[in-house]
A and B are shown apart, each in its own frame.
Chain A
Amino acid sequence: MTLAASVPDTWIGRLMQAVRASAKIRAVDVAREEEAVAIACGASLAGGRGAVLIQNAGLLNCGGVLAGLVELYRIPCFFIVSYRGDGRDPIYYHTPKGRVTEATLGAWRLPYALADRAEDLAAQVARGVELADESRGPYVLLITGGDLE
């Protein structure tokens, strides 16, 4: 990737610390998640490769820009999304987001995978980027805090 646009949560914030340490990836802090999607798309349209690092709450904000920019203009866009509120998340107030995350991804027809920390996570990221490139569309890798250990 050449650029990663992000709104952090606890988990994504840790991931972005690693991104900032990279000399190859421009980290862009944004105010709202739809911006992150458009910024990543702009980098890709200009010859780079943009990624979006956000929480699932923010992904739920992004239906319009996914349909009206990413899908409509067929732009590769790779997401790493923290999956708050699934069964492994100890924080109770994330639960409603967790309940609707995969259902929403399905309704929006977004291809996605759950990161599997028992396997090679770098390979899963590489595969997601590749699938976004091949489909010229979005691809979402859902992660949990444990995946960052």
Chain B
Amino acid sequence: MTPRKTFLEALVAMLTPRDVLVSCLGANARYLPHLAVPAPCIALCDSMGAAIPLALGMALQRPDRHVIALEGDGSLMMSPNVLATVAAARPENLTALLWVNRHYESSGGQALPAAPVDWVGLARGLGLTHVEPVPDVATLHAAFPRARDARSPALLVLDVAFDPHEEIPPYSERPDEIRARFTVA
């Protein structure tokens, strides 16, 4: 399986200044300030499950920008209903990446409820039509441009390695600092 940071670096390398990035809380939010993200970026440090609906609001407000949401499987497990909301709203400019590592990594690495969730099947069942499993970086390199060009909301389901010893940097920015810097021109 692919390490989180490898996926994240590959994604960031594909972003452009015309994109907008919304990250869920946890490891992705903690890594992002250390990467050269070329797009406006807002990273959450709380509020599990808010990344995709936050991105949806942005996508509907700004159809001229492509909005990318990063969400964890622990967060989406709490609120899978949002996928039906996205499917109903049908934004053409929203791509969500679901990071499936089967653990609540930011709260100490506890395992999620031990159910073999079929995220691709669930997303399709809730009405999303552009859903792709992403087992590795090579697939991400092909799948992300397809998602961006899909003219429909897209979900990429990333199979992410869980490493309980991964040294994830701490949060380095406060929410008010993140908010003050975030603008979508």
Show the binding face of A for B, using Cβ within 8 Å.
2-3, 5, 26, 28-32, 34-48, 50, 64-65, 67-69, 72-75
Contact = CB atoms under 8 A, between A and B. Distances in A.
A79 to B, nearest CB: 15
A67 B48 CA distance: 12
Question: Which 8 interchain pairs have the tightest Cβ spacing?
Answer: A42-B57, A68-B46, A68-B47, A38-B53, A31-B81, A39-B57, A46-B61, A46-B58
A140 to B, nearest CB: 19
A134 to B, nearest CB: 16
Contacts, number: 116
Interface in B4-60: 20, 22, 42, 44-50, 53-60
Interface centre among A37, A40, A68, A75 (most CB of B within 10 A): A68
B88 A46 contact: no
A75 B65 CA distance: 21
A74 B178 CA distance: 11
Contacts of A68: 44, 46-47, 50
Interface of B: 20, 22, 42, 44-50, 53-62, 65, 79, 81-82, 84-85, 88-89, 175-176, 178-179, 182, 184
A85 B176 CA distance: 37
B20 A32 contact: no
Nearest to A26: B60
A35 B47 contact: no
B89 A28 contact: yes
A63 to B, nearest CB: 11
Contacts of A35: 53, 56, 79, 81-82, 85
A72 B178 CA distance: 11
Contact of B47 (A40, A43, A48, A72): A72
A67 to B, nearest CB: 7
Contact of A65 (B47, B81, B175): B47
Nearest to A50: B57
A34 B50 contact: yes
